[in-house]
């Protein structure tokens, strides 16, 4: 069975990932319909843990494989959101550990 995370990752257009490092710095809003659907929070400590039990406290955008911000930046591009910026301390249900 394909998980929601696997489905989203496999359906990303290749360009979204390629552009993620160079896209203009538009910031993802928590009220964006896609962000709401994925449970994105700009501050991971605000994640609804009852709704997203896979959330683990140390996980955030900065250590997600889809985040392409620089190590000390407060925000950076995310491939899931077409290269728009997410906060380094944010989180969404697509979080995948950097390898
Ligand atoms: S957890 Fe990963 S996929 Fe989700 S918003 Fe942050 S960088 Fe993007």
User: In the chain, what are the domain boundaries?
Assistant: 4-87
Task: Collapse the DSSP code of 12 into the 3-class scheme (helix H, G, I; strand E, B; otherwise coil) and give the result.
Answer: coil
Question: 99 falls in which pLDDT band (50, 70, 90)?
Answer: confident
Separation of CA 1 and ligand 1 centre (Å) = 22
Q: What is the C-alpha to C-alpha distance for residues 62 and 36, in angstroms, rounded to an integer?
A: 19
Q: What is the CATH number of domain 4-87?
A: 4.10.490.10
Q: Is 90 in the pocket of ligand 1 (CB under 6 A)?
A: yes
Predicted pLDDT of residue 11? 59
Q: Which residues pair with 77 in a beta bridge?
A: 85
Predicted pLDDT of residue 46? 97
Task: Report pLDDT digits (tens) over 18-74.
Answer: 444 444 579 999 999 999 999 999 999 999 999 999 999 999 999 999 999 999 999
């Amino acid at each position: 069975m394909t998980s929601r995370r696997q489905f989203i990752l496999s359906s990303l257009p290749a360009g979204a990932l390629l552009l993620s490092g160079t896209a203009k710095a538009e910031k993802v809003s928590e009220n964006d319909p896609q962000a709401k659907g994925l449970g994105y929070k700009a501050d991971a400590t605000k994640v609804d843990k009852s709704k997203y039990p896979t959330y683990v406290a140390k996980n955030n955008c900065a250590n997600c494989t889809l985040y392409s911000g620089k190590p000390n930046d407060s925000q950076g591009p995310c491939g899931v959101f077409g290269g728009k910026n997410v906060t380094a301390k944010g989180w969404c249900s697509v979080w995948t550990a950097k390898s």
